Amino acid sequence: MKIHKIENFLVKKQNWIINKLQYLEKNTPKKIRRDFSLGEKMLFLNEEYIIKHIPNDRKRLSIKVEKKSFEIYHPEGYNFNLNSKAVKNKIIRWYKDAADEIIKERVSIYKARLNVEPLGITIRSYKSRWGACRENGQITFNWKLIQAPIYIIDYVVVHELCHLVYLNHSKMYWKLVESIFPDYRTYKNWLKKKILHLRFE
């Protein structure tokens, strides 16, 4: 296409392009930057927990989550700004431990229904995927899933377990997923829409 034709096309479609860009800007979720400050909201199983800073006599950070509170216990005079990396690592460690326990429980439920047995289950960090199944049967899940509703976690668990039968995304594979979750498309769309909200920057 010649340059003048492209220019004419852009002029004619200018309003449409502007409206489309405005729509995308308005409807694209923004990344959530976390500094773990007092009152910040954290997600756990799709429930919001409010961060509380609680000084104590211990020299190390510790975390306790209960009654809608994400309690960070810290030494007196602890500077959260100077030690933000240590705080983040501690929180991620808590999330990973919770994910390890809960996801393995869900795997136990659904592997029985699908009559499959994974070689092993590991929890790690992914930037843009929720899980992975290797040819040898080893399955890995993204710890960030623990922020999502339990039914979304279940969908991802089933998604990966079904790869033990079909290591692809063929029609037969999706039929197997559908046999457990008839509305699996709804869960797929939920993850696409919420991916930035579940990231941990």
Check which CATH number belongs to the domain holding 89 and give it: 3.30.2010.10
Residues 22 and 121 in one domain: no
Q: Under DSSP, is residue 133 helix (H, G, I), strand (E, B) or coil?
A: strand
Identify whether residues 26 and 93 lie together within a single domain: no
Across 40-61, average pLDDT: 91
Asked if residue 26 and residue 89 are part of one domain, the reply reads no
CA distance 143 to 45: 12
- Does the residue 119 lie in any domain? yes
Q: Is residue 67 part of a domain?
A: no
| Distances, alpha carbon 150 to alpha carbons 45, 145, 147, 163, 169, in Å | 6, 9, 9, 20, 23
Q: How far apart are CA 110 and CA 119, in angstroms?
A: 15
- Residue of 110 and 200 predicted with greater confidence: 110
pLDDT band at 11 (very low <50, low <70, confident <90, very high): low
The pLDDT score that the predictor gives to residue 4 is 54
Q: Verify that 89 and 25 share a domain, yes or no.
A: no
Q: What is the pLDDT of residue 24?
A: 45
What are the residues facing 121 on neighbouring strands?
Answer: 139
Domain count, the chain: 2
Model pLDDT for residues 129-179, shown as the tens digit of each residue = 899 999 999 999 999 999 999 999 999 999 999 999 999 999 999 999 999
Where would I find the beta strands (DSSP E) of the chain?
Answer: 41-44, 47-56, 62-66, 69-75, 120-124, 131-133, 138-142
> For the residues 14-28, what does the mean pLDDT come to?
57
Residue 49, in any domain of the structure: no
Same domain for 104 and 21: no
* Domain, as residue range, for 17: 1-30
Are residue 26 and residue 89 in the same domain, yes or no?
no
Higher pLDDT, residue 4 or 43? 43
Percent above pLDDT 90 for the chain: 61
